[in-house]
Amino acid sequence: MARPKIALIGAGQIGGTLAHLAAMKELGDVVLFDIAEGTPEGKALDIAESGPSEGFDAKLKGTQSYEDIAGADVCIVTAGVPRKPGMSRDDLLGINLKVMKSVGEGIAANAPDAFVICITNPLDAMVWALREFSGLPHNKVCGMAGVLDSGRFAHFLSEEFNVSMRDVTAFVLGGHGDTMVPSVRYSTVAGIPLPDLVEMGWTTQEKLDAIVQRTRDGGAEIVGLLKTGSAFYAPATSAIEMAEAYLKDQKRVLPCAAYCDGELGVEGMYVGVPTVIGAGGVERVVNIKLNEEEQAGFDNSVNAVKGLIEACKGIDSSLA
């Protein structure tokens, strides 16, 4: 059986890391596409030359031609610009929307059967626009944010409790922005919900509140440290986890920006929700019940995403 084909649209910081991880995990052959001449070719060759030491079998190719992504099983989109210190994700909207148009058309023409994972920010609006431009089925287009945001939350919690990250399940809902909703009630250590751990004296409510806020600011914390771009190791790892769930039909329960058709009270748009990812793409949105406080936070986040979608429609009349 032929190896799966993984197309990476954007060969910058995240794109290069995605290619390296996909090769090391032998998820398939990798095509790196970018408009910057030489960048995808250079990264593909560099990673291929690590193969003998690492011992992986995967072909890597860099290209400026969309025809080379033909028949891809998975497309991961990072094309566009990242933010710099002082910028919000929403500041990227105008420039990255134009990029989504060319990427959407390139995928539709060459890889219409692919499972598409968008990472470009502002995430929830860009995945919506990418789906509109590509015309692919909603269940085959999703956005990576929840796995990363939950990963950040889980990491901070494991440090606070001094327990293995493997035993922490963290749960973040809503848009990938300042309004995201880390859910304390649905996050656990080996099944024990966080409010119970506060009662048990493992931490205080104040410390937990600070961790929730640090999770919301997790991207900005890294932008502030790096100064020249945004996070790329953990975002790439998160998207690879989603791609692997699809390619291996793992039926993983992962939070991602998925199209909601009434689930959690959201109608006809993309926002961060728990999903099941398997060979059918986003096979299910897990329609959980929120309490009043969670629902208010989630609705606030949904409204922020709605505002960005309206802004997209204002910029590109074909989306209206």
Q: 6 to 45, contacts with ligand A3D by CB under 6 A?
A: 9-15, 34-36, 39
Taking the complex as a whole, the smallest distance from the CB of residue 103 to ligand A3D amounts, in Å, to 6
Does residue 212 sit in helix, strand or coil? helix
Taking the complex as a whole, the smallest distance from the CB of residue 181 to ligand A3D amounts, in Å, to 15
Tell me if 145 contacts ligand A3D by CB under 6 A: yes
CB distance 43 to 16 below 8 Å: yes
Amino acid identity, position 50? S
With CB under 6 A as the contact rule, the residue among 8, 47, 123, 220 that binds ligand A3D is 123
Does residue 33 sit in helix, strand or coil? strand
Distances (CA, A) of 303 to 146, 168, 245, 270, 282: 18, 30, 30, 12, 23
Tell whether 220 is in a known binding site: no
Tell me if 187 contacts ligand A3D by CB under 6 A: no
Residue 48-87 contact track with ligand A3D, rule CB under 6 A, x = bound:
------------------------------xxxxxx----
Calculate Rg over the CA atoms of the chain.
19
Taking the complex as a whole, the smallest distance from the CB of residue 97 to ligand A3D amounts, in Å, to 11
Q: 200 to 259, contacts with ligand A3D by CB under 6 A?
A: 229-232, 235
Q: Exposure of 65 by Cβ count < 10 A (0-12 exposed, 13-18 middle, 19+ buried)?
A: exposed
Tell me if 88 contacts ligand A3D by CB under 6 A: no
Taking the complex as a whole, the smallest distance from the CB of residue 16 to ligand A3D amounts, in Å, to 8
Strand order in the sheet with 252-261: 60-63, 29-33, 5-9, 74-77, 115-118, 141-143, 252-261, 267-278, 281-285
Residue 49: both structure tokens together: 């030359």
20, 138, 155, 176: the catalytic one is 176
Tell whether 262 is in a known binding site: no
Is 20 annotated in the active site?
Answer: no
CB distance 308 to 208 below 8 Å: no
> Among all residues, which ones are annotated catalytic?
176
- Contact positions toward ligand A3D, by CB under 6 A? 9-15, 34-36, 39, 78-83, 92, 96, 99, 102-103, 119-121, 123, 144-145, 148, 176, 229-232, 235
